[in-house]
Amino acid sequence: MRNVGPRSKRSADSRVVSIRIAAAVGFVLGATSLAVLVKNLKLEFDPEMAQAALTGPKPLKHEWTLYRGHHWQIVSQATETRAQTDAAEGTRGSCPEGMVEVKGNMKQDPSPTGMFDKKSVEEMQKTTCTKWINREFPERCAEFDRDKWLEISKELKTKPMHFCIDRFEYPNLKGVYPIIMVNWDESEALCEEQGKRLCFEHEWTFACEGDEATPYPYGYKRDSNKCIIDQPWKVYNGAAFSPREADPAKAEMDKLWQGKASGTQPQCKSVFGVYDQTGNVDEWTHTSYPGDHREILKGGYWGPVRTRCRPSTRSHDENHTFYQQGLRCCQDVSTKVRRLDAEDPSIAPLPQELK
């Protein structure tokens, strides 16, 4: 009869083997689950973050400046004065310098609470999508059926619209990068000091879509060659943004930034001649719905998000700031704008050759 050793030793060996097998199985299952999670979230390996961990931070790609001591902006110079851009574009109308006159009839949601009960123009438009990039949020449609849209929307009520809107994102100068890391209250104040105001979301939407209510400012077919959209999402370090004025915040924004200077995408404009509304940076607006919280983001940013005229982001409070949030100003047609450029030392003057 074979001697297999003491029973206690055999039991201990069995437990060790069982533990090792369980650990190996657990590791495989954990790795597999992580891989599935990464795939589902469409996260991407960030070589810059990995490199920084090994060798330290890389030199910044852009030169950044603090605007008014709190907001970040890539250093740049205007390629035209506002008056020169007005003359070249021919869309100023009866609005102040640097603004676009918007006038027409806006298609209204079938329900007065359409934003919340899904009886809205946005939901109607989705039924005309002929080619989805992805249906899950944030849903992206490659192309909409114009004929179908015009047919199902022809009986919608319309509302007369007439207002002025900045041609570009704040600070509204061609060739200048938009400011970012600005909250809703600060955005409102920046507009008010010029005698303007934040756009209401319905004003922003109409300036983007026009009378026909096109899904994109340039029409019915999504095009990343016209506007800076659908760029790869990058992993960010949220802790680096606090405080937002510090160097770590600047370095993190430099790593993440994929936007463009205002007016450098000539085809990214609406039928009225308003530039860069979809993509580039999100823009703060004021809600148009009674009972809703006031702070609304419109337009999306450069990443793989909805970036259409109708959608909005309604999940942030007025204190929220982020690396891709900016603003644009509006005003009534009859209002005069205060020119602060020569009075306020915190606003960089235009180069002498552009004055």
pLDDT at 51: 56
312-313 β-sheet, strand order: 312-313, 295-298, 282-286, 325-327
On whether the CB atoms of residues 176 and 76 are closer than 8 A, the answer is yes
pLDDT at 334: 82
Mean pLDDT of 199-216: 98
Residue type, 151: E
> How far is Cα 117 from Cα 124, in angstroms, rounded to an integer?
12
Is pLDDT of 181 > 70?
Answer: yes
CB burial of residue 229 (10 Å; 0-12, 13-18, 19+): buried
For the chain, the average pLDDT equals: 86
> How far is Cα 210 from Cα 157, in angstroms, rounded to an integer?
14
pLDDT at 288: 92
Is pLDDT of 345 > 80?
Answer: no
DSSP codes, 253-267: HHHH-----TT--TT
Q: How far is CA 300 from the centre of its chain?
A: 3
Share of the chain above pLDDT 90, in %: 73
Nearest CA-CA partner of 199 in 109, 82, 108, 277: 277
Banded pLDDT at 183 (limits 50, 70, 90): very high
Is pLDDT of 343 > 90?
Answer: no
Q: pTM to 2 decimals?
A: 0.81
Q: What are phi and psi of 88, to 5 degrees?
A: -70, -35
Mean pLDDT of 244-271: 98
Per residue in 33-90, pLDDT (tens digit) is: 444 434 444 444 455 555 555 656 689 999 999 999 999 999 999 999 999 999 999 9
Mean pLDDT of 131-160: 97
Structure tokens at 128: 């005309």
Q: What are phi and psi of 21, to 5 degrees?
A: -65, -45
Mean pLDDT of 333-351: 53
On whether the CB atoms of residues 228 and 259 are closer than 8 A, the answer is yes
Q: What are phi and psi of 247, to 5 degrees?
A: -60, -40
More confident residue, 86 or 15: 86
Nearest CA-CA partner of 187 in 178, 119, 229, 254: 178
Domains and CATH numbers, the chain: 61-335 (3.90.1580)
H/E stretch holding 67 reads: strand 64-67
On whether the CB atoms of residues 124 and 153 are closer than 8 A, the answer is yes
pLDDT at 47: 58
pLDDT at 55: 59
Is pLDDT of 256 > 70?
Answer: yes
pLDDT at 5: 46
User: Which DSSP letter does residue 353 get?
Assistant: G
Cis amide prior to 138 (ω within 30 degrees): yes
Mean pLDDT of 132-155: 96
More confident residue, 55 or 240: 240
26-58: buried (b, 16+ CB within 10 Å) or exposed (e) per residue?
eeeeeeeeeeeeeeeeeeeeeeeeeeeeeeeee
pLDDT at 46: 53
Residue 177: partners with Cβ closer than 8 Å, 6 or more residues away: 73, 74, 76, 259, 260, 261, 262
Banded pLDDT at 172 (limits 50, 70, 90): very high
